[in-house]
Amino acid sequence: MKFAPNHLYIEEYVKCATCGVLIYEERGGKKPQTISKDGKVYCSQWCLDWELARGARESGNPAAAATSR
Protein backbone atom coordinates (compact mmCIF):
# COMPACT_ATOMS: atom_id res chain seq x y z
CA MET A 1 0.00 0.00 0.00
CA LYS A 2 1.50 3.32 -1.03
CA PHE A 3 0.50 6.36 0.97
CA ALA A 4 0.49 9.87 -0.43
CA PRO A 5 3.43 12.05 0.64
CA ASN A 6 1.22 13.75 3.25
CA HIS A 7 -0.08 10.32 4.49
CA LEU A 8 -3.69 11.53 4.30
CA TYR A 9 -4.80 9.14 1.58
CA ILE A 10 -3.65 6.02 -0.26
CA GLU A 11 -2.23 6.47 -3.76
CA GLU A 12 -1.93 2.81 -4.67
CA TYR A 13 -2.82 -0.61 -3.26
CA VAL A 14 -0.06 -3.18 -3.76
CA LYS A 15 -1.09 -6.80 -3.24
CA CYS A 16 0.75 -10.10 -3.48
CA ALA A 17 -0.06 -11.77 -6.80
CA THR A 18 -0.60 -15.15 -5.11
CA CYS A 19 -2.20 -14.66 -1.69
CA GLY A 20 -3.54 -11.10 -2.03
CA VAL A 21 -2.03 -9.76 1.18
CA LEU A 22 -1.57 -5.98 1.14
CA ILE A 23 2.07 -4.93 1.01
CA TYR A 24 2.64 -1.76 3.01
CA GLU A 25 5.49 0.66 2.46
CA GLU A 26 7.60 1.32 5.52
CA ARG A 27 7.73 4.72 7.21
CA GLY A 28 9.84 7.19 5.28
CA GLY A 29 8.74 5.73 1.94
CA LYS A 30 11.13 2.77 2.09
CA LYS A 31 10.16 -0.17 -0.07
CA PRO A 32 9.32 -3.40 1.78
CA GLN A 33 11.23 -6.57 1.00
CA THR A 34 9.28 -8.18 -1.82
CA ILE A 35 9.99 -10.32 -4.85
CA SER A 36 9.10 -9.12 -8.34
CA LYS A 37 8.90 -11.38 -11.36
CA ASP A 38 7.28 -10.81 -14.75
CA GLY A 39 5.73 -7.55 -13.53
CA LYS A 40 4.04 -9.20 -10.52
CA VAL A 41 4.84 -8.54 -6.86
CA TYR A 42 5.04 -11.38 -4.32
CA CYS A 43 5.19 -11.03 -0.53
CA SER A 44 7.55 -14.00 -0.08
CA GLN A 45 9.58 -16.63 -1.89
CA TRP A 46 6.95 -19.20 -0.85
CA CYS A 47 4.23 -17.35 -2.80
CA LEU A 48 6.44 -17.18 -5.90
CA ASP A 49 7.30 -20.89 -5.65
CA TRP A 50 3.62 -21.78 -5.19
CA GLU A 51 2.59 -19.85 -8.30
CA LEU A 52 5.37 -21.46 -10.38
CA ALA A 53 4.31 -24.92 -9.17
CA ARG A 54 0.65 -24.17 -9.93
CA GLY A 55 1.56 -23.07 -13.45
CA ALA A 56 3.54 -26.27 -13.99
CA ARG A 57 0.62 -28.40 -12.76
CA GLU A 58 -1.84 -26.57 -15.00
CA SER A 59 0.41 -27.02 -18.02
CA GLY A 60 0.54 -30.76 -17.38
CA ASN A 61 4.21 -30.91 -16.46
CA PRO A 62 4.32 -32.67 -13.05
CA ALA A 63 8.16 -32.97 -13.17
CA ALA A 64 8.51 -29.18 -13.21
CA ALA A 65 6.00 -28.88 -10.35
CA ALA A 66 8.01 -31.31 -8.24
CA THR A 67 11.33 -29.54 -8.87
CA SER A 68 9.98 -26.07 -8.06
CA ARG A 69 9.30 -27.06 -4.45
Containing structural domain, residue 57: 2-67
pTM comes to 0.67
- If one counts the domains in the chain, the total is 1
Q: What is the pLDDT of residue 54?
A: 93
Q: What is the pLDDT of residue 17?
A: 94
User: Mean pLDDT, consecutive 10-residue segments, the chain of 69 residues?
Assistant: 72 88 75 86 94 91 58
Identify the CA nearest to 33 among candidates 51, 54, 47, 12: 47
Q: What is the pLDDT of residue 29?
A: 63
Q: What is the pLDDT of residue 45?
A: 94
Contact in structure between 23 and 30 (CB atoms under 8 Å): no
Q: What is the pLDDT of residue 12?
A: 76
